Chains A and B, each alone.
Chain A
């Protein structure tokens, strides 16, 4: 079963605008990761944020994590048509220790469309 719920399910914006996607999860986590997928292909890792971090940046990406609310957000600034893809959050469970580290639990994803 999916741990994460992502919001919105679909987002359509114009080039140059910012895109914000949200993710909620249910259990204690070790870390949370964001991935991008283009047209049913493999997933590309974007960013990993540890459970003790609140914010992380990578280029045009900004990720926040609020463990008290069990939620995260991904902000893509100055979006481009090439950012059109599905975006997934994925969590690594923090309760089971090392035995769960190889398992990612994914959200349902947000489909982002950026119009030129």
Chain B
């Protein structure tokens, strides 16, 4: 099976702009989670979508939003970009097993640089 894919892989934006990142999960996986990784804060959970509904949300401002489509593909959007949004954004998909014993499979990430 193909792994999790993320597009684009690299992105350069300027402050105030908005950006949309895309994630295609492994075929058959219904849950997609997003994470932000920075040198200062490490890996932080943004949100999780399951069956087109946001099931979990991390502690990020409303500028960060996402959605999931009927084919489980997901997008996240960041509006009014700030310098501090520069990060590696990782998407992960999982099957959604009973009891929470899911392995999350990560994509290669999108490296966002805000100038």
Residues of chain A at the chain B interface (Cβ within 8 Å): 1-2, 30-31, 33, 35, 40-45, 48, 50, 88, 90, 92, 98-109
Contact = CB atoms under 8 A, between A and B. Distances in A.
B104 interface: yes
B108 A103 contact: no
Nearest to B41: A2
A40 B101 contact: no
B33 interface: yes
23 contacts: A30-B99, A30-B100, A30-B101, A31-B101, A40-B88, A40-B109, A40-B111, A41-B108, A42-B4, A42-B90, A42-B108, A43-B92, A45-B103, A48-B101, A101-B96, A101-B102, A102-B94, A104-B33, A104-B35, A104-B43, A106-B35, A106-B43, A109-B43
A42 B104 CA distance: 11
B22 interface: no
A67 to B, nearest CB: 15
Contact of A100 (B44, B56, B92): B56
A97 to B, nearest CB: 8
A102 B103 contact: no
Contacts of A108: 42
Contact of B100 (A40, A43, A98): A98
Nearest to A41: B108
Nearest to B32: A102
Q: What are the 10 A-B residue pairs with the smallest beta carbon separation, nearest first? A: A102-B48, A101-B100, A106-B43, A42-B106, A43-B106, A42-B108, A30-B100, A103-B56, A45-B103, A102-B31
B63 interface: no
B105 interface: yes
